[in-house]
Structure 1
Amino acid sequence: MSDDIENVPGEDSGSTGSGTNIIPINIEDEMRGAYIDYSMSVIISRALPDVRDGLKPVHRRILFGMLELGVNYNKPYKKSARIVGEVLGKYHPHGDSAVYDTMVRMAQPWSLRYELVDGQGNFGSVDGDSPAAMRYTEARLRRIADEMLSDINKNTVDFSPNFDDSLKEPSVLPGKLPNLLLNGSSGIAVGMATNMAPHNLNEVADGIAAYIDNNDITIDELTKFVLAPDFPTGGIIYGYQGVRSAFETGRGRVVIRSKAEVETLKSGREQIIVTEIPYLVNKASMIEKTAQLINEKKIEGISDIRDESDRSGMRIVYELKKDAIPNIVLNNLYKQTQLQSSFSVNNVALVAGRPKTLNLKDLIKYYVDHRHEVVIRRTQYELEEAEKRAHILEGYLIALDHLDEVIALIRSSRDPEIAKNGLMEKFSLSEIQARAILDMRLQRLTGLEREKIQKEYDEIKELIEELKAILADEGKRMEIIKNELLELKDRYGDERRTYIEHAADEFTAEDMIPDDDMVITISHEGYIKRTPLVEYKTQGRGGVGSKAATFKNDDFTEHLFIASNHNYLLIFTEFGKVFWHKVWAIPEGSKISKGRAIQNLINIEADDKVRAVINVINLNDPDYINNNFLIMCTERGTIKKTSLEAYSRPRQNGINAITINEGDKLLNVRLTNGDNHIVIASNSGRAINFHESDVRPMGRMAAGVRGINMKDGEFVIGMVCVDHKDPANLLVVSENGYGKRSEFEEYRMTKRGGKGVKTMNITEKTGSLVAIKDVIEDDHLMIINKSGIAIRTEVKSLRVMGRATQGVKLIRLNEKDSISAVEKISNIEEEEIENPDELNNEGGEVQENSEE
């Protein structure tokens, strides 16, 4: 084989012996280019509708071909085979089934909301039956289809050559009817698809009129006119969220339910009657699958199914057993069968030859833009025609004013050419006027005919002025578009077929949950729960406390904070990741329950653990997320500041919140407003105070800068962020239960990165520092030790002391116990329990439990 392609000596190496050039190409480039060409051809010439007339090329060619064939709504039907042949031979060189199937669909009342083809014969059924062969059926255009084609001969649209350049076909129809909104469309291209829902003409016309009156109308305002899709098979739109999403974004999932009612027979037995089914559902297939589910005992309570549909309408009967509850059976049918279906809206259409996803306002805008261009071109065409006619009429009037001279000139002329030239010279006429005079019939020379010519001329002049006024005034053109549309509404408008029902599931779980304050606890081993704040009782300072949680021996509460049910939690782990979770979605538990493993709620790694949780009010408010920051602090004293906006897009698997250096861990995270003071404290009892502006905002993946300088073996135990305007104190707590509060003024302002000043006199008696908090007198404290004992006390019971003092005892601890977590509770309005017996009893019970 290689011998056959060897180069012949003396010939060019790039050619064979036959002289044919061989051009080497990269097969990957060639395949890529060919596939892109193919995909664009499918997108533009086959699968996607044009936003202007809502038609794909095959639909457009069928309608235009039927117009050219003369099968209008007021003409006799013609054989479908004749129509298909016309379209195939002139405009659409593809398979005949492609054309016939498309024409059939345009004639099916269950497929199109407003059919464009009037079919005679068997055009299929909602049961999925095939139509009869094209040689048996007949068709013609419906009257409403004439609105799509009206004015096509008035230079309103561009025409392009057909496949063999022998004829011209329209590249788009004038489309007086907003067809894309009314009938929708569906198609699968290459790499994209479209699925557009039908709507009601009355609503669409009102919506477009509202848009014409106010181009700045919002989609919310448009939905007062265009309520929702209106499917040809009726049914019930169950829930409005998908409709709203489709209108606003061009994508949404619309749930459709069958229309069903319960009838009671004379015998007392009940039956469910279905009279409308969801759009695009095959009735026979649905009934067959339902019967199969009943036989398999997956649906119970139904003794028989019958299809009693006839020419008068649809009627599917589900006979119920004696003990069956209709509502339960019907809901089960909705859940397991196609009595409830969904229509996934994906509004993709061609805009200027490019596919684009469109919302409701976009669809209306492009329709109005198209109609505006059509009106301009139609008016321009009519103006030109009117001016031509006026020109001829002016010639007629000149001739009639000089009738004897014209007749004499014509009689004396040897041939029409001489007569024409003579008329042009003598009466200053144009060639067109002269020809028209020569072609004029003798009867037009009567006095009555002259009056008619004069009247026609006056009317033409008025028309010309009117057409010029339209071309000069956009407002008039828009008024024409609106009036034509309202005429269509009066002529073809009908009642909405699909009922809208706001679904119960639109009221989300969050809507049904009161926005109460909750105590959120997370244990050292990663168990999380929420408990209503009202379950905790207020005690005096020094009380023993009530039992807060029951854990296994090596577990204890590590995080405790307050949040309302509707807030977002940003959960940060020591590896520097952040996860999102709604408060109400956290399992609720009592004070003594251990909660649910946090791994069941978020996808945290096995060796990672939660280090900080931020309570965020709202992640959807741009003002809020752009003007608030997250300050992060690590155990080695690194600090980082990032805008909350960088963490406002929840992801199920979390994202990296900060880059953690080797050997370090994320310790704490706080939400700030950009003008806070930051205090970082170490276990050795030293704290540094600097302004937030010392830390510039960084990206989400940054590692941060040094916040405090510490000796070997020291580590950061907490960070506080306070607004300098707040009358707050700094509370510090040691591991052996000592604490105090001091004025912030006692901590001098420095630059970040320093060693700080003493914040507590650390001794063997106090133990190392374990917590710092910013508090005011109205705050309460929740203190939990490692054995699970909790005490709640008021901050005002702690007197303000100097920053270098030791503090007072906050909680009585057992010999080998120590404090694990401290959290403040702000603005609690509860009465303190003043009965000492109650305190003693509660304390005794806790003491016993802890000893056990």
Structure 2
Amino acid sequence: MSSETPDIPDEVAERIESVRVEDEMEQSYIDYAMSVIVGRALPDARDGLKPVQRRILYAMHEMGVTSNAGHRKSSNVVGETMGNYHPHGDSAIYDALARMAQGFSLRYPLVDGQGNFGSIDGDPPAAMRYTEARMAPLAEEMLDDIEQDTVDFESNYDDRLTEPAVLPAALPNLLLNGASGIAVGMSTNIPPHNLGEVVDACIHVIENPDCAIADLIETKESPGPIEGPDFPTGARIVGKEGVYDAYTTGKGRVRVRADYEVEHDEGGKDRIIITAFPYQENKARRIERIADDVNDGKIEGITDIRDQSDRDGVRVVIELKRGANTEVVENQLVERHLETTFGVNCVALVDDQPQRLDLKRLLETYVDHRREVVRRRSEFLLEEAEDRAHILEGRLQALQNVDEVVDLIRGSEDRSAAIEALQTDEDALGFTLSEAQAEHIVRMQLGSLTSMEAEDVQTEYAEVQDEIERLETILGSQAELDRVVTEELEEMKARYDDERRTTFMEDVGSVTREDLIPEEDVVVVVTEEDYVKRMPLEEFDPQHRGGKGIIGVRPKDGDRVATVFEANTHDYLLCFTSTGQVYRLKTYEIPEMGRTARGTSAQQVLDLDGEEEINAVVDVADLDEENYLAMATRNGYVKRTAVGEFENVHSGGIRAIKLEGGDSLADVEVTDGEMDLVIASRQGMTIRFDESEARSMGRTARGVNGIKLQGDDEVAGLVATGDEDERALLTVTRMGFGKRTPLSEYRRQSRYGKGLIDIKTSERNGHVVSVNAVTADDGLVIMSESGQIMRTHVDEVSTQGRNTMGVVVMRLDDGDWVASVDTIPAIDNAPDAGADATGEE
């Protein structure tokens, strides 16, 4: 390859310009971006149309496909538009044509379509060869007076024809039908509005040019003309804060909620009837997603969903279960499916430049455009009227001197000579005519020389003079021009105004599912095979010590109860599992079921694996930043972690403690940094030491040795206590025995010792299942592995010394054992006198 510089002729070299690559790329990209912005994606603020929409309507106008003409094949309209004005492909043109015919997309459709132009269910329009279209009456108003030099025309893409740069737009289409589009680096999303309200707002701006934006918006303080967006699909707007932001800044978020009502059945089965979905919502897809949530258990209480919609409107029937909490279901539907946000972004082209416009600026831009249209139309009509008056003046002179005119014409050699004589032979006529007047006189028929024709000319001349005077008044007075603009807008309102479709509802705040769930104390049961449920605590009457309890769950064969705990439905809970994971959930997220129900899979509530069991539950409401969570493992390890480490617990859980060698988490307690920890083992040993001996560690740490276990002994539980603590240590064993011993009897020792005897364990009472710090006013919920639940008072359990076996707290059937124990702080209801030790009424 030769390295020599090519020989370039001088005339060519003079035209070569050196440019930096980055500069050329920057300018080229800017040119491309502006081409997309101006030529495709953004509407003009004057007529509210994008180029493709404007070209479709103008092509239909040129074809004569008006509202009173027959429909034409859409492919014909698309072909004309593409061939003459919009060379960007037929699919883009047909998509724009179809959208202008969709009553669910445009508040005031500009195309009258015949055939399948799509549906609110997301069905696409039929192919253009199957559908037909013509202009809608309102579209004709957009093009009215276009032949009267009201707007500028520009060359089409191949310079064969001209097309309008903007339409005269007798109506403010940008606000009426809104617009949406994505350009390069910017987008627009303008909601549709009610015609009557927008026209009133335009008139208000004309009459009050110095008005504030707030004067144009209907609020409690100001009865402005525009209430807010008016979507073609109806629905309801929640609150007006987003609307006000959108109108004052050009940007805002409007909450739109489906229109629905609740029907009550005498048999106790309610139904929710949806009659309108939010704007631009796919009805079929939304119904499908509701059904998916019902099947997945995310929405409870729905038995059936039927779409009974037809051409007359939307009707979706949601059947509820008998006895279902209708308000909860309604709120879940609103929260997940029936409310969307319309992001308003009022960006449009002003003088071919994209600008974000507030409401007043939008209206002013349109009003200024209409003023210009009326002014140019008046100038055009004035010129025509003056030309006609000039002709009529010549005719009147000819009629007044008809004999002289006839003689002059008869004496001329030809038509050209007659025209010239009428302009120059003042001696013969006594007057002269202009060329236009002379040509008109020569073309006149003899019949027009009658006296009646003369009267008609005189009358027409007077009318033309009045028209000239009217037009000159319009052009000479801003007030008169504004009056004409106002009158024409009022005429449009009288012709096309209709009622609002979108209503408003007060924003009472974000109503959550929690707001509709009553606060109540419940019992939560978890089985070894990860079935979970909750039941109202009041279903279990307190019994005296030694009772058998009542059925609280019926596990399936081979399954056993693993954990039971008491909580409030509104509590946030940190659930610690045997594998060292921690999960966070609201109690009400656990399904409520009857006492004999097995429960639902915990996979629907927590992302547990098959080996995990919930071993400890901490109420988040009881925590503050200075607290610690102390954890004890089955193998005797203990560690403390600051509460702040558990602020962001996601749905899949996070690691709470590192476990090794088959170890598992036994218990968790909340401490304040200055407490003692009491670790109890299954064989009845306890050790008490200052929590500072177990330094604070991160979530992934294993911890330090807490108690020296003997043989196959394991940790049963953990308790946090203070020097002045007057509570007792409640110990419950596997065979249903229990006792209370004052915590003061457990002296402080160094960490990692054998500890002291807490309770004598044997085959008669079994190993320790649970230890809790209690007061005499507390209550207990004890659950057996087979599903029996017993509720009693702590003071039913006698106080004994450390080295004792305890008394029977819960009587168990053969082969059944205590699975879990939880305390109810300061229970205030006494044992039911109607419940004996067997638990039978």
User: Which interval holds the TM-score relative to the shorter structure?
Assistant: 0.5 to 0.7
- Structure 1 counterpart of 2:421: 422
- Structure 2 counterpart of 1:358: 357
Give the one of 211, 215, 218 matched to 1:221: 215
How far apart are the structure 2 equivalents of 1:13 and 1:396? Answer: 70
- How far off is 1:35 after superposition? 0.7
- How far off is 1:25 after superposition? 3.6
List aligned pairs for 1:754-769, cutoff 5 A: none
TM-score for the superposition, normalised by structure 1: 0.58
User: Residues 331 and 511 of structure 2 are in contact (CA less than 8 Å); yes or no, is this contact kept in structure 1?
Assistant: no
- Structure 1 counterpart of 2:156: 162
Give the one of 36, 42, 51 matched to 1:42: 36
User: Residues 269 and 323 of structure 2 are in contact (CA less than 8 Å); yes or no, is this contact kept in structure 1?
Assistant: no
List aligned pairs for 1:210-359, cutoff 5 A: 210-223=204-217, 224-265=224-265, 267-337=267-337, 339-359=338-358
List aligned pairs for 1:91-170, cutoff 5 A: 91-170=85-164
How far apart are the structure 1 equivalents of 2:626 and 2:493? Answer: 61
- Structure 2 counterpart of 1:463: 467
User: Residues 239 and 506 of structure 1 are in contact (CA less than 8 Å); yes or no, is this contact kept in structure 2?
Assistant: no
Q: What's the C-alpha RMSD, in Å, of the aligned pairs?
A: 2.2
Amino acid at match of 1:413: S
User: Residues 268 and 323 of structure 2 are in contact (CA less than 8 Å); yes or no, is this contact kept in structure 1?
Assistant: no
Structure 1 residue matching 2:398: 3-state secondary structure: helix
- How far off is 1:479 after superposition? 1.1
- How far off is 1:156 after superposition? 0.5
Would the alpha carbon gap of residues 125 and 404 (structure 1) be closer, same or farther in structure 2, given more than 3 Å must change?
A: same
How far apart are the structure 1 equivalents of 2:327 and 2:452? Answer: 80
User: Residues 152 and 174 of structure 1 are in contact (CA less than 8 Å); yes or no, is this contact kept in structure 2?
Assistant: yes
Q: State the number of aligned residues.
A: 508
- Structure 1 counterpart of 2:407: 408
Give the one of 501, 505, 512 matched to 1:501: 505
Amino acid at match of 1:276: A
How far apart are the structure 2 equivalents of 1:13 and 1:303? Answer: 85
User: Residues 239 and 505 of structure 1 are in contact (CA less than 8 Å); yes or no, is this contact kept in structure 2?
Assistant: no
Structure 1 residue matching 2:328: 3-state secondary structure: helix
User: Residues 15 and 22 of structure 1 are in contact (CA less than 8 Å); yes or no, is this contact kept in structure 2?
Assistant: no
User: Residues 307 and 317 of structure 1 are in contact (CA less than 8 Å); yes or no, is this contact kept in structure 2?
Assistant: yes
- Structure 1 counterpart of 2:368: 369
Structure 1 residue matching 2:101: 3-state secondary structure: coil
Are 2:170 and 1:172 aligned? no
- How far off is 1:264 after superposition? 2.6
Structure 1 residue matching 2:363: 3-state secondary structure: helix
- How far off is 1:448 after superposition? 1.1
List aligned pairs for 1:578-593, cutoff 5 A: none
User: Residues 206 and 225 of structure 1 are in contact (CA less than 8 Å); yes or no, is this contact kept in structure 2?
Assistant: yes
Give the one of 65, 68, 73 matched to 2:67: 73
Give the one of 3, 6, 11 matched to 2:4: 6
User: Residues 49 and 185 of structure 1 are in contact (CA less than 8 Å); yes or no, is this contact kept in structure 2?
Assistant: yes
- How far off is 1:507 after superposition? 12
- Structure 1 counterpart of 2:377: 378
User: Residues 7 and 13 of structure 1 are in contact (CA less than 8 Å); yes or no, is this contact kept in structure 2?
Assistant: no
List aligned pairs for 1:798-837, cutoff 5 A: none
How far apart are the structure 2 equivalents of 1:507 and 1:79? Answer: 50
Amino acid at match of 1:440: M
- How far off is 1:506 after superposition? 8.3
Percent identical across equivalent pairs?
A: 53
Amino acid at match of 1:298: K
Q: Which has the larger radius of gyration?
A: 2
How far apart are the structure 2 equivalents of 1:241 and 1:273? Answer: 28
- How far off is 1:221 after superposition? 1.2
How far apart are the structure 1 equivalents of 2:38 and 2:140? Answer: 25
How far apart are the structure 2 equivalents of 1:158 and 1:441? Answer: 39
- Which whole-Å deviations, capped at 9, do the CAs of 1:324-372 have from their partners, x for residues lacking one? 12222111111111x1111000000011111111111010111111111
- Structure 2 counterpart of 1:583: none
- Which whole-Å deviations, capped at 9, do the CAs of 1:205-250 have from their partners, x for residues lacking one? 1111111111111111110210100000000001211001001100
- Structure 2 counterpart of 1:524: none
How far apart are the structure 1 equivalents of 2:626 and 2:199? Answer: 56
User: Residues 14 and 22 of structure 1 are in contact (CA less than 8 Å); yes or no, is this contact kept in structure 2?
Assistant: no
Would the alpha carbon gap of residues 370 and 296 (structure 1) be closer, same or farther in structure 2, given more than 3 Å must change?
A: same
- How far off is 1:405 after superposition? 1.0
Structure 2 residue matching 1:106: 3-state secondary structure: helix
Structure 1 residue matching 2:229: 3-state secondary structure: coil
Amino acid at match of 2:359: L
- Which whole-Å deviations, capped at 9, do the CAs of 1:618-668 have from their partners, x for residues lacking one? xxxxxxxxxxxxxxxxxxxxxxxxxxxxxxxxxxxxxxxxxxxxxxxxxxx
- How far off is 1:594 after superposition? 11
How far apart are the structure 1 equivalents of 2:20 and 2:412? Answer: 77
Structure 2 residue matching 1:462: 3-state secondary structure: helix
List aligned pairs for 1:705-720, cutoff 5 A: none
Give the one of 473, 477, 488 matched to 1:473: 477
Structure 2 residue matching 1:225: 3-state secondary structure: coil
Would the alpha carbon gap of residues 416 and 263 (structure 1) be closer, same or farther in structure 2, given more than 3 Å must change?
A: same
Would the alpha carbon gap of residues 380 and 23 (structure 1) be closer, same or farther in structure 2, given more than 3 Å must change?
A: closer
How far apart are the structure 2 equivalents of 1:474 and 1:310? Answer: 51
- How far off is 1:21 after superposition? 7.9
- How far off is 1:420 after superposition? 0.3
User: Residues 127 and 285 of structure 1 are in contact (CA less than 8 Å); yes or no, is this contact kept in structure 2?
Assistant: yes
How far apart are the structure 2 equivalents of 1:276 and 1:243? Answer: 20
User: Residues 263 and 273 of structure 1 are in contact (CA less than 8 Å); yes or no, is this contact kept in structure 2?
Assistant: yes
- Structure 1 counterpart of 2:494: 490
User: Residues 238 and 501 of structure 1 are in contact (CA less than 8 Å); yes or no, is this contact kept in structure 2?
Assistant: yes
Amino acid at match of 2:461: Y
- Structure 2 counterpart of 1:694: none
- How far off is 1:505 after superposition? 1.7
- Structure 2 counterpart of 1:446: 450
User: Residues 241 and 506 of structure 1 are in contact (CA less than 8 Å); yes or no, is this contact kept in structure 2?
Assistant: no
Would the alpha carbon gap of residues 280 and 216 (structure 1) be closer, same or farther in structure 2, given more than 3 Å must change?
A: same
TM-score for the superposition, normalised by structure 2: 0.59
List aligned pairs for 1:342-741, cutoff 5 A: 342-425=341-424, 426=426, 427-505=431-509
- How far off is 1:291 after superposition? 0.8
Structure 1 residue matching 2:82: 3-state secondary structure: helix
- How far off is 1:7 after superposition? 2.6
